[in-house]
Structure 1
Amino acid sequence: MYKVIVADDEPAIRQGLLKIVDWEALGFCVVGDVSNGIKTVALHQALSPELIVIDIRMPRMDGLQAIREIRKIDGDCQFLILSGYADFAYAKQAIEMNVSGYVLKPIDVEEFREELLRIRAKLDRLSGRAKLSEFHADALREELILKLIAADPADAQELESELVPLISFAGKSKQILLVEAEDISQEGLANLESVKTRWLEAAETEGLGYAFQTGPYIGFLLKEDLNRPGAKNEWTRLLQDSCGLKPGFTAAAGRIVYELADIRQSYEDALGLLKNRFLLAGGQIHMVKESVLSHIATESNEHAPPDLEALSTKLCYMLDLGRCEGVAETLEEAGGALVAYDSSETAIKTGLAKMLSVTLSKLAALHQSIDIQDYAPLIAELYQHTHYDRVMNAAHSQLAELARRLGGNGNLPVVKQVMDFIQRHYHGNLKLETMAEIYNYNKGYMGRMFKQHTGDSFHTFLDKVRIQQAIRLLREGHKVYEVSELVGYPNVDYFHCKFKKYVGAPPSSIKGAPPKAKTISLETS
């Protein structure tokens, strides 16, 4: 097929041109559309189209200027000019630059189609019969490959016999590679369709495989399997070069087979991998023997739903203590739990967003310096990424920075850090096991170290902090049952017992004045 670029500063006209004509039936493939002459020149250099349908009046550089620039390096490219101005001066300049046709706006569909047919005939004459024959051979080969990957085993042998004369392999092995293009928008580069076209052309030019298009994927029947030394890197480079600066693709390769009749198996393997595209890293070729993520559940709901509240609390603790490694580990734990329960892109993103929102709300209640609105862009960003690893990297990057900012007491002894932490989180369900896990200590060792430093066990120290806070709240006029809940004792009777143990009087004795009871010391030994 002949490549076409459409250049017009009106998006509606560009889109209309793509729809009103069956380009493929006329032997053309639209590989890109642009809005001004500068982009037209750049895209011509990138794609070398045989035809450019171009408007006269465009911003920055008009159509005639663009044609002059292209004619300096390409005397064969055909131009079909569009213009809303029936001005002979334009037509005269166009004739001098050897354009193929001139169509007035509003465009008459039949007239436009006739111009394309005339230009197609001219291109056929210029390219000669050899190119036309090659075009038919390529089309037939692609058709047979598509039939073979969809065929019943009973029909595969007959299709194989038709395909054999059109292909050759370096060895006996055969393998299918499927590639899905991502939405990339770089100034001066083509859209997704042009990226796909460059893949097709590059594979043919470098002799690496036979290309076909199936649904949203570009497929390749490889001439040599990807286990050949350097083959995987070679294909990765080819795909990346065609996408520009960004990865722009996800690729998967099926199993290696040795008969053409079996390439359906390789195709289905690759297709199965791409169904989990979100869990695959972008810009890489994934092999069917690789696991997508080690913790993917084979069946949805095999695992219990992740406890997002507990994970949020744990992440909050890690951030509050400035434990960057702990932040990374907690995020990984949360991601693994979400994937194991429901590996769909929507479920994972929604779960992570909910967990982060709860975590940041908890932190904002503790630190006046944290405004949860400052992290709204992070939550929104999670939904924009197309791959799991990029979602996790985005979350970790910002949370690690927050942990470093909050972890101002990171140079203090561990016991001192734990004491300060209890003062801030006394109302939570704090356990010695939790603190030991945060610092990667043995529970018993952490307990002995804490008592040696403070003179109290972990739980005794926690009780004393809670009772101190309870006295403060009672003096402020809060009800006993309210205070019990606020300081971390959901059971009010248990609160009564603890309070009397440490204060020597019931909570109801506190009426806004210091109690005549023993004091509670939190000084360390």
Structure 2
Amino acid sequence: MYTYFIADDETKIRQGIRRLIDWETLGFSFIGEASNGEDALRFILDKNPDVTLLDIRMPRLSGLDVARLARADGYRGIIIILSGYSDFKYAQEAMRYDVKYYISKPVDEDELTDYLKKVTDELSVREKHTSAIEYFSEKARDGILSDVLTGSSRISDQDLKELGLLSGCYQAAIYEKYSHNAAAVSYRFSDLLRLTNEDNHSFDTLTIDNNEVILLKGDFAIRRFSDFVERFEREVKPQKGSPLDSLFITYGHVVYRPEEITESYQEALFLLKMRFYCDQGQHTFGYHQLPARRTSLTSAGIGALQEYQDRLLGYIQTLNREMVAESLDSLREQIYLSSAPIEEIRLFLIDLYLQVKESIRYHYHTFDIPFPPNSWAVDFINTRYYLYEIITFLSEQAEMIMRSLGTTSRESTLENVIHYIQHNYMSSLKLERIAPLFGYNSAYLGKLFTQKMGMNFTAYLDQVRIDASMELLRDGSLKVYEIAEKVGYSNVDYFHTKFKKIVGESPAEYRRKFRS
């Protein structure tokens, strides 16, 4: 039983053709129908019906376009064109696409029956001429092509020549869906590429480990591909739903010997795995877009978690948006240059976010900062497909924190410095460390501080720390050495000296006096 498929934009015509004759008696079973050219082309290439009845005038793609593209993609079924009398002039063009049967509308029962009897004879002859050797030869060709790409075995030049795989140069490319959340892509890059190649044998397509692989053969195909990629990267901004918007392409470098093909393929495969580093809206990723040398995680700098935590925490607290952005940009660059596994990078970014968050909550526990739950943040970072999405999240969180701290009300730099000291006095603060956070050198900031406050930076810091210690002494729950550490003094004797100098009595005397 042979299969037949009908494509016509009018439902009544499709139904009429199915009812016009006894298809089963003639040896045909209905396999499907379509109302526009695009759906018809997809169905034909997917289901490969034995007989296709095509209306010439259909939306999206005409019947002749469908015939042309289907033939270009290797469809060998019988095509019968349906057309009104005024479109009969297209019959000659249809013959170029191996269309031997052309029926005018309205379809005549006897004419269609006669055609189908001839079609049955033709299909029968084809079956007799299609030997098992030819079938297995095609399967063997796919296997050989897979071996060439993966480097699984060495193929002689003579075998490559007989299979049409021998050429002067080669390049491997891989394509997949651009959007991870999109429905199945309705266009294949090989279809688009075929339209730009006058020689349909200038590239081969193959599926390896669920990846759609293209092997470009010869200078012509490689130049056409290069022109497409260059124009795509430089000019094209694909519209939603367009063929280009559905594609993401990686490609290796051009090689000149068959045994080097696997190198180009492995590069394209590696780039596909490194898609995590792509920019927003990036549709292509070539071998030249990765650094020549990739450093280890630690040597690249992102292993120093404390370093980035301190930088971000400092710039957030000093409301330095420019330096927050610069630090995140530097972080992204260091990650890009690293050779760390992507899962390790995710863990690093999770740790960085949670530590900055907890530090802010500790220093500003009286502020109402709308942090998302830790579980949500961890899940968000773990499920992002791209690094830029995580960096954007960190940037948005930093901005949210700065807004929550009431940043706009403190107008002068000095007020920002004082605010920073009052919330970080328990840390090891030095003017040399604080000044760069505000974009100043330490000498200038120290001079400005003394002029405005009537005391130098160190004296003011001591005053803030002692004031905090007095409150803790009045609370009475901590020992004196614990209070010293809590307000920023690592040496309890030094704390005693400073306390007595500022308050006029020792910490123990102050506590006894307060209790009495």
State the TM-score, normalized to the length of structure 2.
0.64
Match of 2:190 among 200, 203, 209: 200
Query: Could you say which residue in structure 2 is the equivalent of 1:272?
Result: 270
- Is the 2:170–2:222 Cα contact (8 Å) retained in structure 1? yes
Does the C-alpha gap of structure 1 residues 231 and 289 become closer, same or farther in structure 2, counting only changes over 3 Å? closer
Does the C-alpha gap of structure 1 residues 176 and 332 become closer, same or farther in structure 2, counting only changes over 3 Å? same
Residues in 2 aligned to 1:456 and 1:136: alpha-carbon distance in whole angstroms: 91
Does the C-alpha gap of structure 1 residues 471 and 235 become closer, same or farther in structure 2, counting only changes over 3 Å? closer
Query: Could you say which residue in structure 2 is the equivalent of 1:210?
Result: 204
Query: Could you say which residue in structure 2 is the equivalent of 1:18?
Result: none
- Residue 406 of structure 1: CA displacement? 2.9
- Is the 1:254–1:270 Cα contact (8 Å) retained in structure 2? yes
1:251 alignment partner, SS class: strand
CA deviations on 1:305-353 (whole Å, 9 max, x unpaired) are 7343443343233223332222223334444566666621211111111
Match of 2:252 among 229, 237, 254: 254
Q: Tell whether 2:345 aligns with 1:348.
A: yes
- Residue 138 of structure 1: CA displacement? 7.9
Query: Could you say which residue in structure 1 is the equivalent of 2:213?
Result: 219
Query: Could you say which residue in structure 1 is the equivalent of 2:172?
Result: 176
- Residue 364 of structure 1: CA displacement? 2.7
Query: Could you say which residue in structure 2 is the equivalent of 1:481?
Result: 481
In the TM superposition, 1:140-159 aligns within 5 A as: 142-151=142-151, 155=155, 157-159=157-159
- Is the 2:369–2:401 Cα contact (8 Å) retained in structure 1? no
Query: Could you say which residue in structure 1 is the equivalent of 2:385?
Result: 386
CA deviations on 1:478-503 (whole Å, 9 max, x unpaired) are 43122112211233223222222333
Residues in 2 aligned to 1:397 and 1:306: alpha-carbon distance in whole angstroms: 23
Query: Could you say which residue in structure 2 is the equivalent of 1:501?
Result: 501
Residues in 2 aligned to 1:46 and 1:356: alpha-carbon distance in whole angstroms: 51
2:250 alignment partner, SS class: strand
Query: Could you say which residue in structure 2 is the equivalent of 1:232?
Result: 230
Structure 2 gap segments, 5+ residues each: 6-32, 48-57, 71-76, 78-118
Residues in 2 aligned to 1:295 and 1:438: alpha-carbon distance in whole angstroms: 32
In the TM superposition, 1:121-160 aligns within 5 A as: 125=123, 142-151=142-151, 155=155, 157-160=157-160
Q: Tell whether 2:285 aligns with 1:286.
A: yes
The letter of the residue matching 1:232 is E
Of the structure 1 ranges 350-359 and 429-438, higher mean CA displacement relative to structure 2 is found in: 429-438
- Is the 1:426–1:466 Cα contact (8 Å) retained in structure 2? yes
Structure with the greater alpha carbon radius of gyration: 2
- Is the 2:300–2:335 Cα contact (8 Å) retained in structure 1? no
Does the C-alpha gap of structure 1 residues 173 and 337 become closer, same or farther in structure 2, counting only changes over 3 Å? closer
Residues in 2 aligned to 1:200 and 1:216: alpha-carbon distance in whole angstroms: 15
- Is the 1:174–1:263 Cα contact (8 Å) retained in structure 2? yes
Residues in 1 aligned to 2:310 and 2:450: alpha-carbon distance in whole angstroms: 25
- Residue 155 of structure 1: CA displacement? 3.1
Residues in 2 aligned to 1:219 and 1:243: alpha-carbon distance in whole angstroms: 23
- Residue 512 of structure 1: CA displacement? 6.8
Residues in 1 aligned to 2:246 and 2:203: alpha-carbon distance in whole angstroms: 20
CA deviations on 1:258-292 (whole Å, 9 max, x unpaired) are 34453223222323333433233463322222325
1:488 alignment partner, SS class: coil
Residues in 1 aligned to 2:211 and 2:137: alpha-carbon distance in whole angstroms: 21
Does the C-alpha gap of structure 1 residues 382 and 481 become closer, same or farther in structure 2, counting only changes over 3 Å? same
- Counting aligned pairs with the same residue, the percent is 22
- Is the 1:174–1:225 Cα contact (8 Å) retained in structure 2? no
In the TM superposition, 1:2-401 aligns within 5 A as: 45=39, 48-50=42-44, 125=123, 142-151=142-151, 155=155, 157-163=157-163, 165=164, 173-181=169-177, 184-186=180-182, 190-191=183-184, 194=185, 198-207=188-197, 209-222=203-216, 223-225=221-223, 228-234=226-232, 250-281=248-279, 283-291=282-290, 296-297=294-295, 299=296, 302=299, 306-335=303-332, 343-365=340-362, 366=364, 367-373=366-372, 377-401=376-400
- Is the 1:467–1:499 Cα contact (8 Å) retained in structure 2? yes
CA RMSD of aligned residues (A): 4.7
Does the C-alpha gap of structure 1 residues 444 and 259 become closer, same or farther in structure 2, counting only changes over 3 Å? same
Query: Could you say which residue in structure 1 is the equivalent of 2:101?
Result: none
CA deviations on 1:4-57 (whole Å, 9 max, x unpaired) are 9xxxxxxxxxxxxxxxxxxxxxxxxxxxxxxxx9xx98997496313999xxxx
- Is the 1:361–1:372 Cα contact (8 Å) retained in structure 2? no
Does the C-alpha gap of structure 1 residues 205 and 303 become closer, same or farther in structure 2, counting only changes over 3 Å? closer
- Is the 2:233–2:283 Cα contact (8 Å) retained in structure 1? no
Does the C-alpha gap of structure 1 residues 150 and 376 become closer, same or farther in structure 2, counting only changes over 3 Å? closer
- Is the 1:203–1:211 Cα contact (8 Å) retained in structure 2? no
Residues in 1 aligned to 2:233 and 2:372: alpha-carbon distance in whole angstroms: 43
Residues in 2 aligned to 1:51 and 1:392: alpha-carbon distance in whole angstroms: 42
- Residue 467 of structure 1: CA displacement? 1.0
Does the C-alpha gap of structure 1 residues 410 and 295 become closer, same or farther in structure 2, counting only changes over 3 Å? farther
- Residue 146 of structure 1: CA displacement? 2.3
Query: Could you say which residue in structure 1 is the equivalent of 2:12?
Result: none
Query: Could you say which residue in structure 2 is the equivalent of 1:418?
Result: 417
The letter of the residue matching 1:450 is F
State the TM-score, normalized to the length of structure 1.
0.63
Query: Could you say which residue in structure 2 is the equivalent of 1:447?
Result: 446
- Residue 504 of structure 1: CA displacement? 3.1
Residues in 2 aligned to 1:322 and 1:274: alpha-carbon distance in whole angstroms: 39
- Is the 1:181–1:248 Cα contact (8 Å) retained in structure 2? yes
The letter of the residue matching 1:204 is R
Does the C-alpha gap of structure 1 residues 226 and 440 become closer, same or farther in structure 2, counting only changes over 3 Å? farther
Does the C-alpha gap of structure 1 residues 308 and 151 become closer, same or farther in structure 2, counting only changes over 3 Å? closer
CA deviations on 1:47-100 (whole Å, 9 max, x unpaired) are 6313999xxxxxxxxxxxxxxx99xx999999xxxxxxxxxxxxxxxxxxxxxx
Residues in 2 aligned to 1:46 and 1:509: alpha-carbon distance in whole angstroms: 93
Residues in 1 aligned to 2:40 and 2:457: alpha-carbon distance in whole angstroms: 68
- Residue 212 of structure 1: CA displacement? 2.1
- Residue 418 of structure 1: CA displacement? 0.1
Does the C-alpha gap of structure 1 residues 153 and 226 become closer, same or farther in structure 2, counting only changes over 3 Å? farther
- Is the 1:179–1:251 Cα contact (8 Å) retained in structure 2? yes
- Is the 1:477–1:512 Cα contact (8 Å) retained in structure 2? no
Residues in 1 aligned to 2:293 and 2:465: alpha-carbon distance in whole angstroms: 40
- Is the 1:142–1:211 Cα contact (8 Å) retained in structure 2? no
Does the C-alpha gap of structure 1 residues 147 and 373 become closer, same or farther in structure 2, counting only changes over 3 Å? closer
The letter of the residue matching 1:461 is Y
The letter of the residue matching 1:326 is M
1:430 alignment partner, SS class: coil
1:383 alignment partner, SS class: helix
The letter of the residue matching 2:194 is E
